[in-house]
């Protein structure tokens, strides 16, 4: 599915959660037509109808339910990725503030638990 935009996946998940295009448009401070175009673009890219629109509101189709499941998994993976890199950035900043060398895979095993005294490559602890 070439051409899927991450923002469109997030938008789809919000439409499913809020139940109306206008609620998502208000939340994003964009026109309803922009939300509608994004959904149409997603449906065209997927080659399937994801949402059944009627005068009674919106309902996910079977394909829409499947697509929503993928959107949630992608969202969870992105959250995990962001958290992992935020942790790594925080740890690097703490190491720098403590005057320690950057942690590399080789150095990480030499400086366990933030210890400033190396345990590999020469000097041995007694």
pLDDT tens-digit map of 92-113? 888 888 888 777 765 555 655 5
Domain annotation for the chain: domains and CATH numbers: 6-108 (1.10.10.10)
pLDDT for position 116: 55
Closest CA to 124 of 113, 110, 104, 114: 110
Tell me: the pLDDT tens digits for 11-65? 999 999 999 999 999 999 999 999 999 999 999 999 999 999 888 889 999 999 9
Which residues are bridge partners to 52 per DSSP? 59
pTM of the shown model: 0.69
Residue 126 pLDDT exceeds 50 = no
pLDDT for position 88: 85
Q: Note the residue count of the chain.
A: 126
């Amino acid at each position: 599915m070439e051409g899927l935009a991450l923002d469109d996946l997030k938008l789809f998940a919000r439409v499913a959660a809020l139940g109306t295009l206008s609620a998502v448009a208000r939340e994003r401070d964009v026109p309803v037509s922009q939300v509608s175009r994004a959904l149409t673009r997603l449906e065209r890219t997927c080659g399937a109808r994801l949402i059944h629109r009627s005068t009674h509101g919106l309902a996910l189709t079977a394909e829409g339910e499947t697509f929503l499941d993928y959107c949630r998994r992608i969202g969870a993976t992105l959250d995990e990725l962001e958290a992992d890199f935020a942790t790594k950035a925080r740890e690097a900043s703490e190491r720098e503030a403590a005057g320690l060398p950057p942690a590399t895979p080789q150095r990480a095993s030499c400086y366990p638990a933030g210890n400033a005294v190396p345990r590999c490559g020469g000097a041995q602890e007694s």
